Amino acid sequence: MATLVLIHGGGGSAWDWHLLAPELTDRGHDVVVPELPIEDRSAGFAEFCETVVGAIGDRRDLVVVGHSYGAFTAPLIAAKLPARLIVLLAPMIPKPGESPGDWWGNTGHRATEGLSEQEQFYHGVPAEVVAQAPAHGRDQASAEWDEPWPLDAWPDVPTKVLIARDDRFFPADFQRRVAADRLGVVPDEIDGCHAVTLSHPKQLADRLTAYLVR
């Protein structure tokens, strides 16, 4: 049994994983779903790590999964605690010394024009789930936006990059380029939108658990 540590993205919450978590526990794994202190203007990477480490407690055999903006935090946890695997899901892959605020320009990200928030993030997510999403979003007011990412190098931990083929926020070609530039890897791919945790939870659970038997 592995412990999957699920770290949400920007403006997110534990709710983002609420369809995936039971799929993982049904497959026999433990799940930790921390909520980063993103509404605290004084909280930065150190406080994010403190929150996640506290939620993990004495659990071991960790698989640290960072979705989107959560990819800035996931490797910090893997550098602090014994981790079996890092999985970056539709990720913002950081590099040493780079702030989240600088990531967008450094990677050449360009927003897709003319799409609503629902079209950009949630296409393919069941309508009843999309209707619940606004109640679970949070303001990203925390201080890490301007903080240099604190690691000098990527942790010496096996790392998978998993992208969503139908992602309109981070299109697949963009994610392939960033994964190659920053980690020298070809990402794995799965059907789904940027909110793949909500659009394809069963398939995502299958993919994550398949990583554990390799």
- pLDDT exceeding 90 applies to what percent of the chain? 94
The CATH superfamily label for domain 3-211 reads: Alpha/Beta hydrolase fold, catalytic domain (3.40.50.1820)
Token pair of 70, please? 């959560």
Q: Where exactly are the structural domains of the chain?
A: 3-211
Q: What is the pLDDT along the chain (214 residues), one digit of tens a residue?
A: 899 999 999 999 999 999 999 999 999 999 999 999 999 999 999 999 999 999 999 999 999 999 999 999 999 999 999 999 999 999 999 999 999 999 999 999 998 888 988 999 999 999 999 999 999 999 999 999 999 999 999 999 999 999 999 999 999 999 999 999 999 999 999 999 999 999 999 999 999 999 998 6
CB 80 within 8 A of CB 53: yes
pLDDT in tens, 140-184: 999 999 999 999 999 999 999 999 999 999 999 999 999 999 999
